[in-house]
């Protein structure tokens, strides 16, 4: 009887160890599967970018004509709305989990997008103040900023998340 108890304890201990190992392996597999990939990241962010691009196109429709006609304050209001939409989308993008190997690059990309939001706000302010030279300067900075942002994410094969600064002016 004593021998049976010892064997049962050993078997129980072995079964417990096997169960614990299985749980650890399953947990590790789930953690690896849950880690975002570049493809899964793209699948999550593209709809956000598409919606934002369409919203900004709608908001800024006709803004070039307004600026040409001297309707600068009306154009400023459109740029403020565009900046708000761009900022909201950037916050959504920031919340999406990034692939570990691309975290630094995507963090820089988000920073460039945030800079773009600031430049849109500066354009709006310059339009309100009727300072066309400042508007031109900020537009050039926005174009440069957009090119930098786009260059950071070329390998992601984005369709909608590349910034087309020509839509902003």
Residue 116's pLDDT is what? 97
Residue 69's pLDDT is what? 95
Residue 33's pLDDT is what? 54
Give residue limits of the domains in the chain: 1-34, 37-168
Mean pLDDT per segment of 10 residues, for the chain of length 169 residues?
Answer: 52 49 46 79 98 96 94 97 98 98 98 98 97 96 97 95 83
DSSP letters spanning 128-151: HTT-HHHHHHHHHHHHHHHHHHHH
Residue 24's pLDDT is what? 46
The set of residues, in sequence order, having a beta carbon less than 8 Å from that of 41 and lying 6+ positions away, is: 96, 97, 98, 99, 102, 106, 156
Residue 117's pLDDT is what? 97
């Amino acid at each position: 009887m004593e021998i049976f108890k010892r064997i049962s304890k050993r078997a129980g201990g072995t079964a417990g160890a096997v169960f614990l190992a299985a749980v650890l392996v399953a947990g590790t597999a789930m953690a690896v599967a849950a880690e975002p990939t570049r493809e899964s990241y793209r699948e999550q962010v593209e709809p956000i970018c598409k919606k934002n691009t369409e919203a900004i196109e709608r908001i800024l429709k006709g803004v070039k004509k307004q600026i040409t006609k001297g309707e600068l304050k009306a154009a400023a209001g459109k740029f403020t709305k565009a900046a708000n939409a761009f900022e909201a989308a950037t916050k959504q993008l920031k919340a999406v989990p990034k692939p570990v190997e691309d975290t630094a690059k995507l963090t820089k990309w988000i920073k460039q997008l945030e800079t773009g939001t600031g430049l849109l706000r500066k354009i709006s302010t310059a339009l309100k103040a009727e300072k066309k030279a400042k508007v031109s300067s900020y537009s050039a900075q926005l174009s440069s900023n957009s090119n930098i942002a786009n260059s950071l994410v070329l390998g992601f094969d984005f369709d909608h998340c590349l910034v087309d600064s020509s839509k902003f002016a």
